[in-house]
């Protein structure tokens, strides 16, 4: 049995160790916050939901068993919590309607700047290219490259097959490649 530091933290968290809970909170708060904000588009709702989520984890720690992939587990659970809160507030009826109608999976120039050192114009162009993707493609790219999830983890979080994740990423990159090869984009990037 392979005991990773993450599994060790989870083990001690379930046993009631406050330091382990603190490590989970500190380690996952910001990435879950970013993901929740992409889904809801509402800072207050995301913050409330995240606080409720961590309180729920703490209050129910004795009910949790062994988790093979803590990161995936937290993303899946938090995603459900956000949608439950949105549904409770009657913001939407289901996932597809919420994502398609509200389209909160937009990339900001700041997110791009964190990952790559580009000029302001190149960041703007890259942002426009990413925002031209479908909502599902944007969510998949966000989870893979901005949240660091593996395709297996993304499959679990989004509730789609592993192959669908790979296909979605492939389609996104084909679209990005075609758009970036267009003469208009090429001239802006080389300006």
The answer to whether residues 90 and 116 belong to one domain is no
Q: Using the 3D structure, point to which of 66, 88, 104 is the last residue of a domain.
A: 104
The answer to whether residues 154 and 167 belong to one domain is yes
Whether the model pTM is above 0.75: no
Q: Using the 3D structure, point to which of 45, 69, 104 is the last residue of a domain.
A: 104
The answer to whether residues 140 and 91 belong to one domain is no
By mean pLDDT, which of 7-16, 148-157, 181-190 is the weakest? 181-190
User: Sign of the CA dihedral 172, 177, 183, 184?
Assistant: positive
The answer to whether residues 125 and 38 belong to one domain is no
The answer to whether residues 124 and 98 belong to one domain is no
Better pLDDT: 119 or 78:
78
Residue 41: closest CA among 29, 30, 53, 33? 33
Tokens of 57: 């984890």
Total residues belonging to the chain? 191
Percent of the chain whose pLDDT exceeds 70 = 74
∠ Cα 76 81 84 (to 5°): 125
Structural domain total, the chain: 2
The answer to whether residues 164 and 145 belong to one domain is yes
Give per-residue pLDDT as tens, 22-75.
999 999 999 999 999 888 888 999 999 999 999 999 999 988 888 888 899 999
Q: Using the 3D structure, point to which of 40, 75, 104 is the last residue of a domain.
A: 104
The answer to whether residues 183 and 99 belong to one domain is no
The answer to whether residues 97 and 144 belong to one domain is no
Return the CATH number at 168: 1.10.10.10
Strand ranges, E, within the chain: none
Better pLDDT: 11 or 119:
11
The answer to whether residues 90 and 58 belong to one domain is yes
Give per-residue pLDDT as tens, 137-174.
999 988 998 888 999 999 999 999 999 999 999 999 88
Return the CATH number at 99: 1.10.1740.10
The answer to whether residues 69 and 147 belong to one domain is no
- Domain residues for the domain of 177 are 105-191
Question: Looking at residue 142, what DSSP letter applies?
Answer: I
Better pLDDT: 143 or 128:
143
The answer to whether residues 148 and 119 belong to one domain is yes
Mean pLDDT of 94-109: 55
The answer to whether residues 100 and 6 belong to one domain is yes
């Amino acid at each position: 049995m392979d005991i990773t530091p993450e599994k060790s933290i989870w083990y001690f968290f379930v046993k009631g160790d406050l330091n382990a809970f603190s490590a989970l909170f500190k380690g996952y708060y910001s990435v879950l916050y970013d993901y929740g904000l992409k889904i809801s588009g509402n800072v207050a709702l995301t913050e409330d939901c995240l606080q409720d989520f961590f309180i729920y984890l703490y209050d129910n720690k004795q009910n949790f068993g062994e988790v093979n992939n803590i990161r995936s587990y937290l993303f899946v659970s938090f995603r459900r919590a956000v949608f439950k809160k949105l549904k409770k507030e009657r913001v939407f009826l289901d996932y597809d309607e919420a994502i398609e109608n509200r389209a909160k999976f937009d990339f900001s120039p700041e997110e791009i700047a964190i990952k790559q050192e580009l000029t302001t114009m190149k960041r703007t162009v890259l942002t426009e290219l990413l925002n031209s993707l479908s909502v599902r493609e944007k969510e998949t790219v966000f989870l893979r490259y901005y949240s660091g999830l593996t395709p297996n983890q993304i499959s679990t979080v989004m509730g789609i097959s592993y192959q669908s994740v790979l296909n979605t990423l492939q389609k996104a990159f084909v679209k990005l490649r075609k758009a970036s090869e267009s003469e208009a984009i090429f001239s802006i990037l080389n300006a």
